[in-house]
Amino acid sequence: MSSPSQPGCPITDLVSQFIQARAITKTQYQELTTLVLADGTIDESERKQVNRLFDAIQLGRVKILD
């Protein structure tokens, strides 16, 4: 199984999709959160992907939609 920092990982794929689309809905955000927390912990690779998305949101590259 791929680690979350590698292409092909569901978390990496989702984050990349959101950044490419320049948007994320609140439902998609909840789904991402559920996926990240599914095993009860957040490892370093998952944290990096989440931070990548948060950085894009803060820089205005990704908008949060209702």
User: What are the beta bridge partners of residue 26?
Assistant: none
- pLDDT means over runs of 10, the chain (66 residues): 58 95 96 90 90 96 95
**Inter-residue contact 14 to 7 (CB < 8 Å):** no
Neighbours of 32 (CB within 10 A): 19
What global pTM score does this model have? 0.81
pLDDT of residue 42: 87
